[in-house]
């Protein structure tokens, strides 16, 4: 694929992440729930995850990633005219949005800012929304942030879920450009499966009762594998791309076995697959931009690289995206 001489398209001009310092390892979990490092690694591929400090909010994490993403796009905060945040663990439920908090932290007090709720598929949804905003001419430079303080909605006595999730944030800037095009994005949902993965609050609960995530993991697992395999193949076919043309596959990092199933379906080598689940666990809407940032910082994003993303999460929501990297703006980060 050649990105030269194209009319300007929505482009991901930068990528950045913020990773909290504190590590919560599988061995740490052995101290307070009935689990083992061996079980967690065998079933999920996760070895450790990061946990934000008590006084560190979701918007703090997102702001740190956002500042870096704006710098790497060679812009300043005042160049940003919309902020969209994907999260399932906002600072506040319903309002104010985490996007408003991040905007204020960046000194932007007269700007379009809103959150989207698409769980672990949040970053794919962000690409679709930001692409539409810039290609319609409504906005010029859209800051997209996937940010999670998943630890704030985790029941650390529920071993079926608490070992899976971690905290972190990733961000990027989407603008019209002839380089780094977001070639295509597909998003979808099926609310009939909502109860398999949700933050449940009993109707009798007091309003201030904390929310905790619940998941029927095994059922989610099977649907996730089938849905993702079909979704990526549909996106590749629609764009007349053979899976052997993919240079880098950057999937949502929920479970190594889910990633491997899609990798095998597409017959991609390990070198073409970005895996961070062992270090960060599932960071939901932040997992793809955090993994993409790793690939960028490790020099794995090369000029002209064709990138495939996929994600599946609560709702159910899912999606996939094709991007091309390595244009002049990107290599200048
Ligand atoms: O990002 C959003 C999308 N999320 C996902 O895609 C996650 C999808 N699901 C999964 O990743 C997997 O289903 C899990 C990792 C959550 C669970 O793995 P599994 O192979 O599906 O295990 P399971 O739920 O079928 O449980 C098997 C056994 C059960 O014991 P019994 O009933 O066979 O005696 C569980 O009680 O493992 C037990 N178990 C645990 N054992 C040790 C469940 N959690 C744990 C644990 N440590 N933490």
What mean pLDDT do residues 11-16 have?
95
Lowest mean pLDDT among 79-93, 118-132, 291-305: 291-305
pLDDT beyond 70 at 330 = no
| Contact 253 CB / ligand 1 (< 6 Å) | no
- Ligand 1 centroid – CA 160 distance (Å): 6
> Is any atom of ligand 1 closer than 6 Å to the C-beta of 287?
no
Summarize the confidence of residues 275-290 as an average pLDDT: 98
CA of 276 to the centre of ligand 1 (A): 20
Q: Are 153 and 199 in contact (CB under 8 A)?
A: yes
Catalytic residue among 255, 282, 293, 329: 282
In whole angstroms, what is the distance from residue 188 CA to residue 128 CA? 11
Distance from C-alpha of 288 to C-alpha of 176, rounded to nearest angstrom: 22
d(C-alpha 105, C-alpha 102), whole Å: 5
Size (the chain), residues: 333
Establish whether residue 159 lines the binding site of ligand 1, counting it when its CB lies within 6 angstroms of any ligand atom: yes
Structure tokens at 118: 């698409």
319 lines ligand 1 (CB under 6 A): no
Distance CA 24, CA 166 (A): 9
pLDDT band of 211, cuts 50, 70, 90: confident
The mean pLDDT value for 1-9 works out to 63
For the cut 70, the answer to whether the pLDDT of residue 199 exceeds it is yes
- Residue 180 binned pLDDT confidence (cut-offs 50, 70, 90): confident
pTM, 2 dp? 0.95
Residue that the structure tokens 């909290």 belong to: 20
Ligand 1 pocket member 162 (CB < 6 A) = no
The reply to whether ligand 1 has any atom less than 6 angstroms from the CB of 35 is yes
- Distance of CA 278 from the midpoint of ligand 1 (Å): 16
List the catalytic residue out of 120, 141, 180, 329. 120
What is the 8-class DSSP label of residue 92?
S
Of 197, 20, 187, 13, the C-alpha closest to 116 is 187
CA of 93 to the centre of ligand 1 (A): 28
Q: Is the pLDDT of residue 265 over 90?
A: yes
Distance CA 117, CA 278 (A): 25
209 has pLDDT over 90: no
Residue-wise pLDDT for 63-77, tens only, equals: 999 999 999 999 999
Q: Taking residues 227-252, report their average pLDDT.
A: 97
What pLDDT, on the 0 to 100 scale, is given for residue 96? 97
Residue 188 contacts residue 319 (beta carbons within 8 Å): yes
Cis before residue 139, ω within 30 degrees of 0? Answer: no
Whether the per-residue pLDDT at 145 is higher than 90: the answer is yes
Query: pLDDT value at position 303?
Result: 83
Whether residue 153 is predicted with pLDDT greater than 70 in this model: the reply is: yes
| pLDDT score for 304 | 87
Q: Is the pLDDT of residue 315 over 70?
A: yes
Considering the domain delimited by 1-327, tell me its CATH architecture: 3-Layer(aba) Sandwich (3.40)
Q: What is the DSSP letter of 4?
A: T
Residue nearest to atom 41 of ligand 1 (CA): 35
Q: How high does pLDDT run on average in the chain?
A: 93
Is 332's pLDDT higher than 50?
no
DSSP per position, 192-257: GGGGGEEEE--TTS-TTSPPEEEE-HHHHHHHHHHHHHHHHHHHHHHTT--GGG-SEEEE--S-HH
Residue 291 reports pLDDT greater than 70:
yes
pLDDT computed for residue 333 by the predictor: 44
- Do 108 and 77 touch, CB atoms closer than 8 A? yes
Cβ-based neighbour number of residue 196 at 10 Å = 17
What are phi and psi for residue 262, nearest 5 degrees? -70, -40
Substitution candidate for ligand 1 out of 87, 217, 314 with most atoms within 8 A of CB? 217
Asked about 120 being catalytic, the answer comes back as yes
């Amino acid at each position: 694929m050649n990105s030269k001489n194209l009319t300007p398209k929505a482009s991901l001009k930068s990528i950045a992440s913020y990773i909290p310092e504190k590590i919560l390892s599988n061995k740490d979990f052995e101290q307070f729930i009935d689990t083992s490092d061996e079980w967690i690694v065998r079933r999920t591929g996760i070895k450790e995850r990061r946990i934000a400090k008590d006084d560190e909010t979701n918007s703090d994490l997102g702001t740190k990633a956002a500042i870096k993403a704006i710098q790497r796009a060679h812009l300043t905060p005042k160049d940003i005219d919309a902020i969209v945040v994907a999260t399932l663990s906002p600072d506040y439920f319903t309002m104010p949005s985490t996007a408003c908090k991040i905007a204020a932290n960046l000194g932007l007090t007269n700007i379009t800012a809103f959150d989207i709720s698409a769980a672990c598929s949040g970053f794919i949804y962000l690409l679709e929304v930001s692409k539409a905003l810039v290609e319609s001419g409504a906005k010029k430079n859209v800051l997209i942030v996937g940010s999670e303080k998943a630890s704030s909605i985790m029941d650390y006595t529920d071993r079926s879920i608490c070992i899976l999730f971690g905290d972190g944030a990733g961000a990027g800037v989407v603008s019209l450009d002839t380089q780094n095009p977001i070639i295509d994005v597909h998003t979808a949902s099926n609310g009939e499966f909502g109860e398999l993965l949700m933050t449940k609050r009993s109707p009798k609960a007091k309003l201030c009762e904390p929310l905790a995530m619940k998941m029927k993991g095994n059922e989610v697992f099977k649907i996730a594998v089938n849905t993702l395999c079909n979704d990526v193949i549909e996106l590749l076919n629609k764009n007349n791309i053979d899976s052997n043309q993919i240079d880098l596959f950057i999937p949502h990092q929920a479970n190594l076995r889910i990633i491997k199933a899609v990798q095998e379906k597409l017959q991609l080598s390990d070198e073409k697959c970005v895996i961070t689940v062992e270090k960060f666990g599932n960071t939901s809407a932040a997992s793809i931009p955090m993994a993409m940032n790793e690939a960028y910082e490790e020099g794995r994003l090369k000029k002209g690289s064709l990138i495939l993303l996929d994600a599946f999460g609560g709702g159910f929501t899912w999606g996939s995206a094709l991007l091309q990297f390595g244009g002049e703006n990107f290599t200048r980060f």
